[in-house]
Copies of this chain bind each other. A is one copy, B any other.
Amino acid sequence: MNKSAMTTAASFAFDASRCLICSARNLNMCGALEQDELSKLSKIARCESFGSGEALFHEGDTANTVYNITDGAVRLSSTLKDGRRQVIGFLFSGDFIGFSDRPNYPWTAEAVRGAKVCRFGRNDIAKLGRELPKVEHRLLEMATSDIASAQEHITMLGQGSAAEKVSSFLLMLSRKAAQRGGVANPVHLPMTREDIADYLGLAFETVSRCFTRLENEGLIAIGSIRVVRIKDAEALADYSENE
């Protein structure tokens, strides 16, 4: 988006507890991986940092790198010929980027207000997967989790009214924050209303109106633009599946 943004790539210490098969969400594999396996992993990892709005890669680029997010948030999106944009997902610490069967990335990945990642060569990971079945198995687990997320997204897009979509979105962000060890309730929204709109298949004005409406109905309190406090989680959950 911001073409003049410099690539602030910088090496920093490899933190196995945050990389690939050791995501914060699924610590079980950490104990299972032996020390020499972890060191093999760290040898092929390269850590980088991206500034706000900066792209990890663009749609169509040769897909020879995969990523594991260690901090911040990343927005995955596809752009149609006429300029419309679909946000495929928001990824956070512990999430993996790179499940694709095509030689070129089918989406653009951009840091939302900054992100830190571990990058791996695709060939390196493939090779490591052949050497260490545990790595391949962990990749399958993460792909399966991605499928579940995508299917929830599908149901939200297909069956939800605008208010239902926004409610579901807030609850999802809250749940994800808790899963990675953060606070669940004052929900932090690193993305813009337009990002949310493109994720939910709505106009950004509609998203804004829904926030206002949910606040007027007493279900949420909008502290600042980027911080929403859930006042009535139950009512919000009802909203997100019934209206």
Contacts and interface: CB of A to CB of B under 8 A. Distances in A.
Contacts of A198: 158
Quickly give the copy total for this chain: 2
Given A88-B151, A146-B147, A154-B86, A159 B80 contact: yes
A3 interface: no
B102 A148 contact: yes
Interface string A2-45: 00000000000000000000000000000000000000000000
Contacts of A80: 155, 159, 241-242
Contacts of A133: 130, 133, 136
Contacts of A141: 101
A217 to B, nearest CB: 19
Mostly, the A contact residues are helix
Size bracket, chain A contacts = 35 or more
- By CB atoms of chain B within 10 A, which of A85, A155, A200 has the most? A155
Contact of A136 (B100, B136, B155, B159): B136
A53 interface: no
Interface in A137-177: 137, 139-141, 143-148, 150-151, 153-155, 157-159
Interface in A219-243: 241-242
Nearest to A242: B82
A201 interface: yes
Nearest to A85: B159
A80 B241 CA distance: 7
A41 B140 CA distance: 19
Contact of A153 (B99, B101, B145, B154): B154
6 contacts: A78-B155, A80-B159, A80-B241, A106-B148, A140-B140, A150-B151
Given A80-B159, A159-B201, 13 more contacts: A80-B242, A81-B241, A81-B242, A82-B241, A82-B242, A99-B144, A100-B147, A101-B148, A106-B151, A133-B133, A140-B143, A157-B158, A158-B198
